């Protein structure tokens, strides 16, 4: 494991089910991470019982790059708000919701000549389709996009590069998995995009169809 961390290699850690609950619009609670992240679950549960609150505020370390971290507030004036027994439940709730926002935050759109904007209708449709998928479909889509169902230590923020969605004039989505690039045609209708995204998210298609 030590060598894997040093070289930023992928570890045999399944994608967090809480991650997909969030995509489905479900508010994440502490028990949702009990099986996938037992140590974090234990720590947060201990905090709810009043342990480890000393010198803690509503501010957390966020990994923004390889070995690069920054402080981010969980709420307004979070850096000056102490965590107490009266508000620790709020802290745990905000912590759990914040950490899974990384999915969208670590996706970029386009590049020179291949640009989407986050506000383009196709991107809004894309996330709407993904949020409506089953957990299995979402996992398959990520396989199609990156060729893996696993995340490195540290989660999405610790990937060697950001996920990318490129605008490509073609009939169906393809992917350059080594670059974490999803090549998404600028479909004219939501229904057409939904059809093709669900197609590549089928088990028999996500491991080879359209991959480069």
Q: Kindly report the average pLDDT of the chain as a whole number.
A: 78
13 pLDDT higher than 50: no
pLDDT at 36: 57
pLDDT at 4: 41
Between 63 and 43, whose confidence is greater?
A: 43
pLDDT at 29: 76
**Which tens digit of pLDDT belongs to each residue from 106-152?**
899 976 666 898 889 999 999 889 878 776 787 788 889 888 766 55
Q: What do you get for the CA distance between the two ends of the chain, in Å?
A: 29
Distance CA 208, CA 212 (A): 9
pLDDT at 132: 80
pLDDT at 84: 95
CB atoms within 10 A of CB 139: 20
Closest to 65 (Cα-Cα) out of 156, 137, 186:
156
- Is 178 catalytic? The answer is yes
pLDDT at 64: 56
* φ and ψ at residue 120, rounded to 5 degrees: -60, 145
Residue 7 pLDDT level (bands cut at 50, 70, 90): very low
Domains and CATH numbers, the chain: 29-99 (3.30.2160.10), 103-200 (3.30.2410.10)
Residue 191 pLDDT level (bands cut at 50, 70, 90): very high
């Amino acid at each position: 494991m030590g060598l894997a961390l040093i070289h930023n290699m992928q570890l045999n850690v399944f994608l967090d089910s809480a991650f997909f609950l969030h995509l489905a619009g479900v508010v994440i609670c502490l028990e949702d991470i009990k099986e996938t992240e037992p140590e974090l679950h234990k720590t947060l549960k201990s905090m709810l019982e009043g342990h480890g609150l000393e010198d803690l505020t509503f501010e957390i370390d966020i990994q923004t790059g390889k070995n690069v971290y920054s402080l981010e507030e969980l709420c307004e004036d979070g850096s000056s708000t102490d965590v107490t027994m009266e508000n620790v439940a709020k802290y745990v709730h905000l912590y759990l919701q914040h950490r899974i926002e990384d999915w969208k935050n670590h996706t970029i759109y386009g590049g020179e000549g291949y640009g989407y904007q986050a506000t383009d209708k196709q991107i809004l449709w894309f996330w709407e389709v993904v949020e409506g998928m089953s957990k299995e479909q979402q996992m398959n889509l990520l396989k199609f996009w990156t060729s893996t169902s696993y995340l490195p230590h540290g989660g999405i923020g610790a990937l060697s590069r950001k996920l990318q969605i490129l605008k490509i004039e073609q009939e169906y989505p393809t992917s350059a998995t080594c670059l974490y690039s999803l090549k998404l045609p600028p479909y004219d209708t939501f229904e057409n995009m939904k059809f093709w995204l669900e197609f590549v998210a089928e088990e028999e298609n996500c491991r080879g169809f359209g991959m480069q």
